[in-house]
Amino acid sequence: MGRFGGALRCIKYLLLGFNLLFWLAGSAVIAFGLWFRFGGPMKDFSSEDSSPEYFYMGLYVLVGAGALMMAVGFLGCCGATRESQCVLGSFFTCLLVIFAAEITTGVFAFIGKDVAIRHVQTMYEEAYNDYLRDREKGNGTLITFHSTNCIDEIESIISVKLQLIGIVGIGIAALTIFGMIFSMVLCCAIRNSRDVI
């Protein structure tokens, strides 16, 4: 019984450590999404009519996913400290859903790079044509494109950022697997310890 209690305590602390990492990863995802939306070279696109709304929607989803990760991390901490099978089962289910979403996001980021780059090229061409039609009016989107060192540089930035998003998504998915394993092992250990008593 002493060894079993020690193993239960070890798994409990491993799960608490995982949840701390998961909570911090959620915070980092929120910070990255907000920085990419409101900072860096993309911040000036929001003031124009032709701003990349689909891109911003993706960033808002990223921020929402980060908030969900933080909430799920808190749920896992509650389940581990209270040793509740119900909360740990809910935590496992949430992790499973997040795992599927992260894999999907990672794959989309790797595959969708070309589509995003083509969309930015189209946006640039439309902004340039608008500028040629009415030179007096000026065009903030075109100025923003040129202030970040032309379309080639923007394509490079988008390619690198989407690749980074893909790597982070798949990395967090790998971390999520450990959380699912720890939560199920702790849930089974709690059930077995209650059966022994």
The CA distances from residue 71 to 61, 91, 114, in Å, are 15, 10, 33
Q: What is the pLDDT of residue 1?
A: 47
- 196 within 8 A of 1, measured Cβ to Cβ: yes
Q: Is the dihedral of CA 44, 46, 51, 55 positive or negative?
A: positive
List, as one string, the DSSP characters of 57-118: HHHHHHHHHHHHHHHHHHHHHHHHHHT-HHHHHHHHHHHHHHHHHHHHHHHHHHHTHHHHHH
pLDDT at 52: 59
Tell me the mean pLDDT in the region 53-61. Answer: 70
> Which residue has better confidence, 188 or 140?
188
Confidence band of 50 (pLDDT split at 50, 70, 90): low
Q: What is the pLDDT of residues 165-179, one digit of tens each?
A: 777 777 778 888 988
Q: Are 26 and 70 in contact (CB under 8 A)?
A: yes
Report the pLDDT value the prediction gives residue 38, as an integer from 0 to 100.
Answer: 78
Q: How far apart are CA 5 and CA 120, in angstroms?
A: 58
| Lowest-confidence segment of 50-54, 100-104, 116-120, 185-189 by average pLDDT | 50-54
Mean pLDDT within 131-141: 64
Task: Return the H-helix or E-strand segment holding 50.
Answer: none
Compare 27 and 131 and report the one with higher pLDDT: 27
Model pLDDT, residue 90? 93
The Cα–Cα gap between 12 and 87 comes to 13
Helix H or strand E segment including 140: helix 140-147
Distance of alpha carbon 169 from alpha carbon 100, whole angstroms? 10
Whether the CB-CB separation of 79 and 147 falls below 8 Å is answered with no
With contact defined as beta carbons under 8 Å apart, do 163 and 110 qualify? yes
For the cut 90, the answer to whether the pLDDT of residue 40 exceeds it is: no
Total residues found in the chain within this entry = 197
Which token pair is 167?
């790597």
Average pLDDT, the chain: 77
pLDDT for residue 91: 93
DSSP string, 24-46: HHHHHHHHHHHHHHHSGGGGGGG
| Mean pLDDT, residues 34-62 | 66
Q: Indicate if the pLDDT at residue 93 is higher than 90.
A: yes
Domain ranges in the chain are 13-43+50-135+157-195
| 25 φ, ψ (degrees, to nearest 5) | -65, -40
Q: What is the pLDDT of residues 1-28, one digit of tens each?
A: 455 677 788 888 988 998 998 889 889 8
66 band by pLDDT with thresholds 50, 70 and 90: confident
